[in-house]
Structure 1
Amino acid sequence: MKAMILAAGLGTRMRPLTDHCPKPLLTVAGKPLIVHHLERLATAGIHDIVINVSYRGQQIIDALGDGERYGVSLQFSVERTPLETAGGLRQALPLLGEAPFILLNGDVWTDFPLARLALANDDLASLVMVDTTDFHRRGDFHLDAQGRLHVDGEPRLIYAGLGVVRPELVADLPAGAAIKLAPLLIDAMQAGRVGGWHHRGDWVDVGTPQRLAELEARLTQG
């Protein structure tokens, strides 16, 4: 299975740290955040990785190279302007191929066991979900007892920025268009084609300097 790391965002919430450095290259516990992802993917046996880049994307390409030093093989999907998540996936499909792939936000950190990620035969996606937080109390979706995700229902959980996606989910989108992923996932949920896991372990949305500092403290103390 291949993986795609989303790394094309502007990192506006992380300013001023991202004024001259793309968010995936911000250092935490002695290495860039995106390198933690590469190492964990390699440990899980996932070696073919696509990274989409846009804002200061050449810095990411230069820093990571072909990925050999991390035990992976990297390809980059360069977006002249950010294409949102679904648009970025659509552009990267020629690199990802026709099989389901792991999708990972570049600005999260989690100890979810990546080797567990899989997709049911008819599903378009399966998403890792976590408990609501102070900055997102409403949550995103409801996960039922059978492991199916729904737009409505209680209790609600947050999409953790990690999952498995079938290329079919975005294959019919127009190339080069900036399109969000959430509406496509909602349509797939309403068709009964999205599963999920409730992860009760460690997860951080590394979206602000404060959360980056908190993750640094957690990892270095641990």
Structure 2
Amino acid sequence: MKAMILAAGLGTRMRPLTDHCPKPLLPVAGRPLIVHHLERLREASITEIVINVSYRAEQIIEALGDGGNHGVRIAWSREETPLETGGGIQRALGLLGRAPFLLVNGDVWCDLDPSTLPALDSGDLARLVLVDNPDHHPAGDFHLDATGRVSAEGEPRLTYAGIGLLDPALVAGESPGAFALAPLLRRAMAEGRVAGHHHRGRWVDVGTPERLAELDRRLRD
């Protein structure tokens, strides 16, 4: 199985840290944030990785190269301007192939072992990793029912961790260009084609300088 790491964002919430450094290269416990993803994927025997880049792309490519120093093989999907989540995935489909792949938002940190995720069931378009709602997002995103199905409505709610298994068909039929992934997921949920996995381990949305600093402290401890 291949993986895709989303790393093309502008990092506006992380300013001023990202004024001169792209968010994936911000240091956490002595290593760039994106390297934590590469290491966890390698440990799960996922070594073919696609990374999309746009803002300060050359810095990221120069830092990681072909991935050999981290025991993986990286293919780069370049975007002249960020294509949002859905558009970025669609642009990269030629590198990802036709099989389901693991999607990882570059601005999260999670101790999930990706190899423990069950494969997609027949007919499903996604399996989302969901976590307990953090303090900064108390309302959550989606409902996970007792049968493991995810819906846009319902209680209680959980937060999408920015990690999941996706079938390329979820985005393949959309018009090329910039578009969000969330509406496509909600449409698939309405069709009963999205499963969920409740991860009860550690997870951080590294979306602000304060949360980045807190993650750095926790990992160093």
Give the TM bin, normalised by the shorter chain.
Answer: over 0.9
Quote the offset at 1:113 in angstroms.
Answer: 1.4
Q: Return the alpha-carbon distance in structure 1 between the equivalents of residues 3 and 87 of structure 2.
A: 16
Deviations 1:5-37 (A, max 9, x none): 000000001000000000000000110000010
TM-score by length of 2: 0.98
**What are the ranges of 5 or more consecutive residues in structure 1 without an aligned counterpart?**
none
Deviations 1:117-144 (A, max 9, x none): 2211211000000111221111110000
- Which residue identity does 1:96 align to in structure 2? L
5 Å matches for 1:63-212?
Answer: 63-117=63-117, 118-175=119-176, 177-212=177-212
Q: Return the alpha-carbon distance in structure 1 between the equivalents of residues 116 and 101 of structure 2.
A: 13
- Which residue identity does 2:190 align to in structure 1? Q
CA RMSD of aligned residues (A): 0.6
- Which residue identity does 1:48 align to in structure 2? E
Is it true that 1:3 corresponds to 2:3 in the alignment?
yes
Q: Return the alpha-carbon distance in structure 1 between the equivalents of residues 126 and 27 of structure 2.
A: 31
- Which residue identity does 2:24 align to in structure 1? P
Quote the offset at 1:61 in angstroms.
Answer: 0.5
Report what 1:54 is aligned to.
54
Q: Return the alpha-carbon distance in structure 1 between the equivalents of residues 42 and 122 of structure 2.
A: 25
Does the aligned pair in 1 maintain the 2:40–2:113 contact within 8 Å? no
Q: Return the alpha-carbon distance in structure 1 between the equivalents of residues 196 and 76 of structure 2.
A: 28
Percent of aligned pairs sharing the same letter? 67
5 Å matches for 1:3-22?
Answer: 3-22=3-22
Report what 1:36 is aligned to.
36
Q: Return the alpha-carbon distance in structure 2 between the equivalents of residues 201 and 67 of structure 1.
A: 27
Runs ≥4 residues deviating over 4 A: none
Q: Return the alpha-carbon distance in structure 2 between the equivalents of residues 18 and 219 of structure 1.
A: 21
Quote the offset at 1:168 in angstroms.
Answer: 0.3
Question: Tell me, what secondary structure is at the counterpart of 1:38?
Answer: helix
TM-score by length of 1: 0.98
